Amino acid sequence: MNETPAPEYVQETPPPRQVSVKLPSAPPRVTYTIMGITILFYLLQMASEFFLNGDYPAYFGMKINEFILHGELWRLLSPVLLHGSLTHIGFNMYALFVIGAGMESRMGHLRFLMLYLVSGFAGNVFSFYFSDANSLGASTAIFGLLAAEGVFLYLNKSLFGNRAQKALTQILMVAGVNLVIGMSPGIDNWGHIGGLLGGLIFSWFGGPRWEVEGIPPLVQLKDRRNMRDAIIGAAVVMGIFSAIALLKFF
């Protein structure tokens, strides 16, 4: 007697359903404001050269070690508003627009402003400590934005998958190429390195760290970091680089 085998029932797991999550978005008001103020200062520099035969905004604001050592400490931040040529400011403002608009939408207005300022400060302190050459330009702060973008991708790589790895590789290549270019005469590479470190430290402690909340399809991104974390990040950067600046005085 032949027995008919009992049918086997195999339970198949349905493929995971992809759920789209809307990324935080906000108009880059701080980015545009910084660009506007920086361009205004450059127009003042041009007007000063035309009418007064000298770039007085640069003279009173650029990083000049001798004057900093005599107490003009604002020169550790004011150089981010000053530039040496139309090409110089054009390149920096383009980089600020490309990197800054996205970073501001993810960080929020105040936290992004904090990142920009502490990165500029860190870059100018590094230049003050390691280089005696006069310098000016927003690239110290912009390198900090570049580092913050890299930290953001690293901390949130589980959300972006392979795209995070590719984007992070691109950022490392861009930073590396620009640092190599910065070895050319007349470029303050120490400022770039300091800005990178400042942006990296700030973002590591206070940059966005997202997690997905809710039940599909009603899910949203929530930032586990808050303004307290950003203040801690800024305090760490200011503490480290203020100590470096003080070493120069002694």
Please say if 192 is a catalytic residue. Answer: yes
Sign, CA dihedral 179-180-183-185, equals: negative
C-alpha span between 135 and 14 (Å, rounded)? 61
C-alpha span between 26 and 55 (Å, rounded)? 37
218-223 vs 210-215, strand pairing mode: antiparallel
Query: Of 119, 135, 192, 203, which is the active-site residue?
Result: 192
Half-sphere exposure of 224 (CA within 13 A, CB side): 10
Sign, CA dihedral 79-85-90-92, equals: negative
Query: Of 139, 158, 184, 203, which is the active-site residue?
Result: 139
Non-local CB neighbours of 158 within 8 Å, separated by 6+ positions: none
Please say if 48 is a catalytic residue. Answer: no
Catalytic residues: 139, 192
